[in-house]
Amino acid sequence: MFKYLVVAAIIPVLALASPTPFRTCPNNAPVPETFTVGDCTSLPCPIVRGQPLEAKGGNIISPVSTSTVEAYITVSLAGLDLDFPIPEELVDACANGINSCPLVAGQPFDYVFYDDDMNLPLGGITVQIRVGLRDGATEIACVEFDGALI
Protein backbone atom coordinates (compact mmCIF):
# COMPACT_ATOMS: atom_id res chain seq x y z
CA MET A 1 0.00 0.00 0.00
CA PHE A 2 2.82 2.40 0.91
CA LYS A 3 4.45 2.06 -2.53
CA TYR A 4 1.16 3.05 -4.19
CA LEU A 5 1.07 6.21 -2.10
CA VAL A 6 4.66 7.04 -3.09
CA VAL A 7 3.86 6.50 -6.78
CA ALA A 8 0.69 8.60 -6.45
CA ALA A 9 2.75 11.41 -4.89
CA ILE A 10 5.56 11.24 -7.47
CA ILE A 11 3.44 11.23 -10.65
CA PRO A 12 2.06 14.79 -10.19
CA VAL A 13 5.56 16.07 -9.42
CA LEU A 14 6.92 14.49 -12.61
CA ALA A 15 4.05 15.97 -14.61
CA LEU A 16 4.86 19.44 -13.25
CA ALA A 17 8.53 19.01 -14.14
CA SER A 18 7.82 17.85 -17.71
CA PRO A 19 9.56 19.94 -20.32
CA THR A 20 7.77 21.77 -23.08
CA PRO A 21 7.74 19.83 -26.36
CA PHE A 22 9.86 21.51 -29.04
CA ARG A 23 11.30 20.96 -32.49
CA THR A 24 14.72 21.59 -33.96
CA CYS A 25 14.80 24.85 -35.94
CA PRO A 26 15.03 24.67 -39.75
CA ASN A 27 18.64 25.90 -39.54
CA ASN A 28 19.59 22.78 -37.49
CA ALA A 29 21.12 24.91 -34.72
CA PRO A 30 22.03 23.13 -31.48
CA VAL A 31 19.14 22.55 -29.08
CA PRO A 32 19.08 22.50 -25.28
CA GLU A 33 18.82 19.22 -23.42
CA THR A 34 15.75 20.58 -21.62
CA PHE A 35 13.33 23.36 -22.55
CA THR A 36 10.35 24.83 -20.70
CA VAL A 37 7.96 27.68 -21.40
CA GLY A 38 6.21 28.56 -18.16
CA ASP A 39 4.24 25.50 -17.11
CA CYS A 40 3.43 24.43 -20.70
CA THR A 41 3.64 20.66 -21.22
CA SER A 42 1.65 20.35 -24.47
CA LEU A 43 1.42 22.42 -27.63
CA PRO A 44 0.34 25.05 -28.38
CA CYS A 45 1.71 26.90 -25.37
CA PRO A 46 -0.47 29.84 -24.30
CA ILE A 47 1.39 33.16 -24.54
CA VAL A 48 -0.77 35.78 -22.82
CA ARG A 49 -0.56 39.47 -23.69
CA GLY A 50 0.57 41.60 -20.75
CA GLN A 51 1.53 38.59 -18.62
CA PRO A 52 5.06 37.50 -17.66
CA LEU A 53 6.73 34.86 -19.81
CA GLU A 54 9.66 32.70 -18.78
CA ALA A 55 11.41 30.23 -21.07
CA LYS A 56 14.36 28.13 -19.95
CA GLY A 57 16.88 26.19 -22.00
CA GLY A 58 19.06 23.83 -19.99
CA ASN A 59 22.38 22.24 -20.82
CA ILE A 60 22.99 23.97 -24.16
CA ILE A 61 26.35 23.06 -25.71
CA SER A 62 27.87 26.07 -27.46
CA PRO A 63 29.48 25.33 -30.83
CA VAL A 64 31.73 28.41 -30.49
CA SER A 65 33.63 30.40 -27.90
CA THR A 66 32.22 33.91 -27.65
CA SER A 67 31.58 36.78 -25.28
CA THR A 68 28.68 38.25 -27.29
CA VAL A 69 25.39 36.38 -27.50
CA GLU A 70 22.24 37.88 -28.98
CA ALA A 71 18.77 36.53 -28.19
CA TYR A 72 16.09 36.62 -30.88
CA ILE A 73 12.53 35.48 -31.44
CA THR A 74 10.99 34.75 -34.82
CA VAL A 75 7.28 34.11 -35.32
CA SER A 76 6.05 32.18 -38.34
CA LEU A 77 2.48 32.69 -39.52
CA ALA A 78 1.18 31.01 -42.68
CA GLY A 79 4.74 30.32 -43.80
CA LEU A 80 5.86 33.93 -43.37
CA ASP A 81 8.69 34.54 -40.87
CA LEU A 82 8.43 37.74 -38.86
CA ASP A 83 11.03 39.03 -36.40
CA PHE A 84 9.35 39.45 -33.06
CA PRO A 85 10.37 42.58 -31.17
CA ILE A 86 11.80 41.71 -27.76
CA PRO A 87 12.76 44.42 -25.30
CA GLU A 88 16.18 45.87 -26.12
CA GLU A 89 17.52 45.05 -22.66
CA LEU A 90 16.82 41.33 -23.29
CA VAL A 91 18.69 41.13 -26.62
CA ASP A 92 22.11 40.91 -24.91
CA ALA A 93 21.81 37.35 -23.60
CA CYS A 94 25.12 37.58 -21.72
CA ALA A 95 23.73 40.47 -19.65
CA ASN A 96 20.26 38.88 -19.30
CA GLY A 97 19.77 35.16 -19.22
CA ILE A 98 23.20 33.52 -19.34
CA ASN A 99 25.23 33.39 -16.16
CA SER A 100 28.38 31.97 -17.73
CA CYS A 101 29.60 34.39 -20.42
CA PRO A 102 31.93 34.24 -22.15
CA LEU A 103 30.82 30.93 -23.61
CA VAL A 104 33.41 28.25 -24.26
CA ALA A 105 32.94 25.93 -27.25
CA GLY A 106 31.83 22.48 -26.11
CA GLN A 107 30.90 23.63 -22.60
CA PRO A 108 27.26 23.48 -21.45
CA PHE A 109 25.35 26.53 -20.25
CA ASP A 110 21.78 27.45 -19.31
CA TYR A 111 19.69 30.32 -20.65
CA VAL A 112 16.59 31.94 -19.13
CA PHE A 113 14.43 34.34 -21.14
CA TYR A 114 12.17 36.35 -18.85
CA ASP A 115 9.87 39.14 -20.01
CA ASP A 116 7.67 40.51 -17.23
CA ASP A 117 5.13 42.03 -19.66
CA MET A 118 4.73 40.27 -23.01
CA ASN A 119 3.81 42.94 -25.53
CA LEU A 120 2.08 40.96 -28.27
CA PRO A 121 1.27 42.77 -31.50
CA LEU A 122 -1.26 40.06 -32.44
CA GLY A 123 -3.74 37.93 -30.54
CA GLY A 124 -6.19 35.10 -31.08
CA ILE A 125 -3.88 33.11 -33.36
CA THR A 126 -1.58 30.10 -33.15
CA VAL A 127 1.91 30.56 -34.57
CA GLN A 128 5.25 28.78 -34.73
CA ILE A 129 7.75 30.48 -32.43
CA ARG A 130 11.53 30.21 -32.70
CA VAL A 131 13.65 31.30 -29.75
CA GLY A 132 17.34 31.42 -30.49
CA LEU A 133 20.78 32.61 -29.49
CA ARG A 134 23.47 33.71 -31.94
CA ASP A 135 26.85 35.37 -32.24
CA GLY A 136 26.60 37.36 -35.46
CA ALA A 137 25.76 34.81 -38.16
CA THR A 138 26.70 31.82 -35.97
CA GLU A 139 23.74 30.04 -34.43
CA ILE A 140 24.44 28.96 -30.85
CA ALA A 141 21.02 27.45 -30.06
CA CYS A 142 17.45 27.47 -31.34
CA VAL A 143 14.14 25.78 -30.52
CA GLU A 144 10.80 25.94 -32.26
CA PHE A 145 7.38 25.37 -30.68
CA ASP A 146 3.75 26.24 -31.31
CA GLY A 147 2.31 29.11 -29.33
CA ALA A 148 -1.26 30.36 -28.96
CA LEU A 149 -1.09 34.16 -28.74
CA ILE A 150 -3.87 35.27 -26.42
The string of pLDDT tens digits covering residues 46-101 is: 999 889 999 999 999 999 999 999 999 999 998 888 878 888 999 999 999 998 89
Q: Specify the pLDDT at position 9.
A: 38
Mean pLDDT score across all residues of the chain: 86
Count other C-beta atoms under 10 Å from residue 134's C-beta. Answer: 20
The string of pLDDT tens digits covering residues 5-48 is: 333 333 334 344 459 999 999 989 999 999 999 999 999 999 99
pLDDT of 135 above 90: yes
Q: Specify the pLDDT at position 17.
A: 46
Q: Specify the pLDDT at position 126.
A: 95
Average pLDDT over residues 98-112: 95
Average pLDDT over residues 120-135: 90
Question: Who's near 24: CB < 8 A, 6+ residues apart?
Answer: 31, 142, 143, 144
Quote the CA–CA distance of 67 and 101 in Å, as a whole number: 6
Domains of the chain: 2-149 (2.60.40.770)
Q: Specify the pLDDT at position 119.
A: 78
Q: Specify the pLDDT at position 149.
A: 92
